[in-house]
Amino acid sequence: MAHTMREVAKRAGVSLATVSRVLNNTQYISDETRRSVLDAVRELNYFKNVHARRLATGRSDLFGLVISEIANPYFPEIIRGYQAMAWNHGFDVLLCNTEYDRERTKAVMRKLRESDVRGVAIVTSSVDRDMASELTAAGIPLVFCNSDPASKLVGNICIDYEHGVTKAIQHVVELGHSRSAVIAGPADNRTAVTIKNALVTGLTSRGLNPVCVLESNYRVDAGAAAVREVLSRPEIPTIMFCGNDLIAMGAMSALEESGVRVPEDVSVIGIDDIFFAFLARPPLTTISVPREQLGVKAFEALDRMLKLKRHMGPNYMLETDLVVRRSTAPVRRQSPKVRS
């Protein structure tokens, strides 16, 4: 038999309002009272009826989080940070992925609107402000990543890729490299374009004009295909900068298949510092992005907008850094022999 909140209150010897405050963590409650309520909840095996609560209050307990694809190892730490913040504030998370598909993205926006979420963090560059305009029109605050400056109901978290890129370029200069290549992410992805521009500008300013600049999607097989194109050219670079770690891992695999050793013949640098970067062989030198902190800041931005009367969005900046592992080494003066 399902028990009610009234029965929990009677068992704990407190009011209904006190039980609600404890379960929703909305106000300070003494430790003794909190223990009494939670003991009663466990004894009665009581569960909140979220649908009844929504009908009573007219608001859901949901915050939305939009990512590109659930299989991409870039996102778990963002999800962890965001979800931890939501749960700590008594809320749940509705997770949606777009799969880089425009029609699916439209369906995701409709789902979030229908679910009456309190706020939405959009941490994929495949969704722009126009695509999410129906949410802000409904008064739902949004936070984007690497988008335009914040405005009413819209916050922005900017990742300072330039800082990590600068350190990475300085690293390869100190190793003696002079021939570079860039394998960037997709041309229609604003973050990928930002990273590519930072790499090309930084390399050129240090006299490491890239022998080629290619674009690929954010997958291992795309990195491998791009490397095969690089190796087909007359001049082989000694250092390859990749738009993310998955591209870099595909690049290292294709180099090995072609008889080119990493890092003895060609050094490789990725971006993101996903968990698998440490497990790669050799372990990948990469520009780290504080992704769990990104999830935390995304929730903080939404919470802040909901509490402000004017609902003005904040701007946050997160800094990147370089993690040096064994996929980079001093340059060899002799060009590698490619196995056809």
Q: What angle do CA 256, 262, 268 make, to 5 degrees?
A: 110
Decide if 5-48 and 161-288 have a common fold: no
Distances (CA, A) of 14 to 161, 204, 253: 53, 69, 63
Count helices and strands in the chain by DSSP H and E runs: 13, 12
pLDDT in tens, 96-132: 999 989 999 999 999 999 998 999 999 998 898 899 9
CATH topology of domain 161-288: Rossmann fold (3.40.50)
pLDDT in tens, 267-310: 999 999 999 999 999 999 999 999 999 999 999 999 999 998 88
User: Are the CB atoms for 93 and 148 separated by under 8 Å?
Assistant: no
Would you place residue 311 in the very low, low, confident or very high pLDDT band (cuts 50, 70, 90)? confident
Judge whether residue 338 has pLDDT over 80.
no
pLDDT in tens, 37-96: 889 888 888 776 655 555 455 567 899 999 999 989 999 999 999 999 999 888 899 999
In the prediction, which pLDDT does 53 show? 56
Cis (ω within 30 of 0) for the bond into 330? no
How do the domains of the chain map onto residue ranges?
5-48, 61-160+290-319, 161-288
Q: CATH for 61-160+290-319? A: 3.40.50.2300
Would you place residue 179 in the very low, low, confident or very high pLDDT band (cuts 50, 70, 90)? very high
In the prediction, which pLDDT does 43 show? 87
More confident site: 31 or 25: 31
User: Are the CB atoms for 45 and 3 separated by under 8 Å?
Assistant: yes
Q: What burial class does residue 340 get, using C-beta atoms within 10 Å of its C-beta: 0-12 exposed, 13-18 middle, 19+ buried?
A: exposed
Token pair 């730490």 is found at: 77
pLDDT in tens, 180-193: 999 999 998 889 99
pLDDT in tens, 133-152: 999 999 999 999 998 899 99
The whole-number average pLDDT for the span 3-23 is: 84
In the prediction, which pLDDT does 48 show? 67
User: Does the domain at residues 5-48 carry the CATH identifier 1.10.260.40?
Assistant: yes
Q: Whole-angstrom distance between the N-terminal and C-terminal Cα of the chain?
A: 71
Per the DSSP assignment, residues forming a β-bridge with 54 are: none
d(CA 240, CA 309): 49
Q: What angle do CA 138, 141, 143 make, to 5 degrees?
A: 140
**Signed CA dihedral, 66, 70, 75, 81: sign only:** positive
d(CA 227, CA 214): 9
